[in-house]
């Protein structure tokens, strides 16, 4: 299990490249990813037979290529995530399937792509089984099961239980087996992802449910997937999950099933955040320093159009200051950090429910840079053009060299699909 990092409120470099140089060369706001951190996080999970990256966390083609080259297969939740995986060089066939489509529905394009390329489908609803069976009988499929309970870092990231639309309700498993039979589909695996932010207590419940469900399906099961949800610490009070214990729990489930079925079972894990969160930094420039009554604000050029996690979940992100003059940082003081959007919720230092909170940060002036850290998962990929702000640039640092992996959006590109 990795060591929880100490988060500092000042930072001059990212992966060996100066923050000031990054801002000068690539402009702000810019997402910067440290490739070595992603590779390290992949290595942490080596005990699992298959690591399947949940690309929804950060799906830039260069990131997908990096994980592919490190023997990580990929999950796709939409037609265009399938197309991204293909564009990043993933094959369509293989064991384990290089690309798996996991969703609760097929939109028409996704169904067409799955048929056209013969992709493996992880069905999250009885309707998906029906729709696939109608056009492609004889396929192997896996089922995403909702075990009837879930857990998440926020109610919005809890994907289990009857409040959730995700997966096949555990009590409908038998019905789905009959449905698969009737449509000539074979169920070769089960998958459970109960939410983002797993802990070991919930996990042992999931393992029990997996065991029960797999025994109900029977010997056709060849794979079980633990889903994603591995947490990362966003501040020094949070921790990683004990990866050894996490693996042990799943491995015990796998072994029980192997004994019952008398054949080997492959154990998959499907992390998004764990691979990319800590690798990503959002570099932004302070454009105003404002005193509003008792409150001091740093107003930067990145907003919730670039990083939506604080406004969506009250998520905490470490923030550090890089001084443009490289001078020593002074005594920290309470600051609220906001962005440029014409909306009062555009605050990075807020708690769930929208309550603004102050953060101890060093004194800073217009032109100094802020680095919003642990932003590599659900950062860029949840960004928007709200207030007609361009999508940020993305940069990857490998072996001390920074290169653009996505140009900042241009105005011409932004309006290209509009018609007067």
Q: How far is CA 399 from the centre of its chain?
A: 24
Q: At what angle do helices 173-182 and 200-217 cross, to 10 degrees?
A: 40
Task: Write out the two tokens for 133.
Answer: 């069976």
Task: Pick the closer one to ligand LLP by CB: 307 or 321.
Answer: 307
**Interface positions, 216-235, toward ligand LLP (CB under 6 A):** 227-230
Considering only residues 60, 157, 349, 350, which one is a binding residue for ligand LLP as defined by CB under 6 A? 157
Pick the binder of ligand LLP from 28, 59, 60, 196 (CB under 6 A).
196
Residues 318-377 within binding reach of ligand LLP (CB under 6 A): 377
Pick 133 or 310: Cβ nearer ligand LLP: 310
Quick one: 228 or 338, whose CB is closer to ligand LLP?
A: 228
Task: State how far the Cα of 66 lies from the Cα of 78, in Å rounded to an integer.
Answer: 21
Give one DSSP letter per residue of 209-233, joined into a string.
Answer: HHHHHHHHH-TT--EEE--S-----
Among 147, 150, 233, 271, binds ligand LLP (CB under 6 A): 271
Dihedral angle sign, alpha carbons of residues 17, 21, 26, 31: positive
Q: Per the structure block, which two tokens stand in for 249? A: 């729990």
- Residue 389, both tokens: 């702000």
Closest approach, Cβ 77 to ligand LLP, in A, equals 7
Q: Is 303 in the site for ligand LLP (CB under 6 A)?
A: no
Q: Per-residue DSSP letters for 336-367?
A: EEE-SSSSTT-BSSEETTTEE--EEE----TT
Question: Is residue 69 a known part of a binding site?
Answer: no
Task: Give catalytic status of residue 58 as yes or no.
Answer: no
* Residue 90 marked as a ligand binder: no
Instruction: Give the position of tokens 């005193």.
Output: 291
Q: Are 397 and 35 in contact (CB under 8 A)?
A: yes
Query: In Å, what is the CA distance from 83 to each residue of 99, 110, 186, 351?
Result: 10, 10, 25, 36
386 is in an annotated binding site: no
33 is in an annotated binding site: no
Name the minimum Å distance from CB 87 to ligand LLP: 21
Cα 303 to the chain's mean position, in Å? Answer: 19
Judged by CB under 6 A, does residue 270 bind ligand LLP? yes
Query: How many C-beta neighbours within 10 Å does residue 343 have?
Result: 15
Is 90 an interacting residue with respect to ligand LLP (CB under 6 A)? no
Q: Which of 58, 123, 207, 342 is catalytic?
A: 342
Site for ligand LLP in 22-61 (CB under 6 A): 54, 57
Find the shortest distance in angstroms from Cβ 377 to ligand LLP: 6
Q: Measured between alpha carbons, how far is 331 from 316 in angstroms, rounded to an integer? A: 22
* Site for ligand LLP contains 193 (CB under 6 A): yes
Least Å distance between CB 231 and ligand LLP? 8
Per the annotation, binding residues are: 229, 270-273, 309, 313, 343, 378
Chain positions contacting ligand LLP, by CB under 6 A = 54, 57, 102, 157, 159, 193, 196, 227-230, 270-274, 309, 377-378
List residues with catalytic annotation.
342
């Amino acid at each position: 299990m990795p060591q929880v990092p100490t988060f500092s409120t000042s930072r001059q470099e990212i992966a060996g490249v100066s923050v000031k140089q990054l801002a000068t060369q690539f402009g702000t706001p810019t997402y910067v990813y440290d490739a070595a951190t992603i590779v390290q996080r992949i290595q942490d999970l080596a005990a699992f037979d298959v690591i399947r990256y949940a690309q929804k966390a950060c799906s830039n083609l260069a990131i997908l290529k990096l994980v592919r080259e490190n023997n990580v297969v990929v999950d796709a939740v939409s037609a265009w995530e399938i197309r991204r995986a293909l564009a990043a060089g993933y094959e369509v066939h293989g064991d384990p399937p290089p690309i798996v489509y996991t969703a609760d529905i097929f939109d028409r394009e996704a169904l067409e792509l799955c048929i056209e390329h013969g992709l493996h489908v992880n069905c999250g609803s009885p309707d998906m089984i029906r729709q696939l069976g109608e056009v492609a009988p004889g396929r192997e499929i896996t089922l995403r099961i909702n075990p009837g309970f879930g857990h998440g870092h926020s109610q919005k990231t809890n994907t289990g239980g009857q409040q959730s639309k995700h997966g096949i309700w555990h009590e409908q498993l038998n019905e789905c087996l009959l449905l698969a039979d009737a449509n000539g589909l074979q169920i070769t695996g089960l998958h459970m992802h109960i939410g983002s932010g797993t802990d070991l207590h919930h996990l042992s419940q999931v393992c029990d449910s997996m065991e029960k469900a797999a025994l109900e399906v029977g010997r056709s099961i060849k794979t079980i997937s633990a889903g994603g949800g591995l947490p990362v610490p966003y501040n020094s009070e949070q921790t990683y999950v004990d990866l050894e214990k996490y693996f042990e729990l799943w491995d015990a489930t796998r072994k029980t099933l192997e004994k019952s079925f008398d054949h080997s079972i492959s154990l998959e894990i499907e992390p998004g955040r764990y691979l990319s969160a800590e690798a990503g930094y959002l570099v932004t420039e302070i454009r105003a320093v404002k005193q509003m009554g008792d409150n001091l604000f740093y107003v930067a050029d990145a907003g919730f159009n670039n990083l939506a996690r604080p406004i969506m979940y009250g998520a905490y992100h470490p923030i550090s200051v890089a001084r443009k003059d490289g001078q020593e940082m002074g005594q920290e003081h309470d600051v609220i950090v906001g962005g440029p959007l014409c909306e009062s919720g555009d605050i990075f230092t807020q708690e769930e429910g929208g309550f603004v909170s102050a953060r101890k940060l060093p004194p800073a002036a217009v032109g100094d840079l802020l680095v919003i850290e642990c932003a590599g998962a659900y950062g860029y990929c949840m960004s928007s053009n709200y207030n007609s702000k361009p999508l940020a640039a993305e940069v990857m640092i490998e072996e001390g060299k920074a290169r653009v992996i996505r140009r900042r959006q241009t105005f011409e590109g932004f309006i290209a699909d509009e018609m007067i």
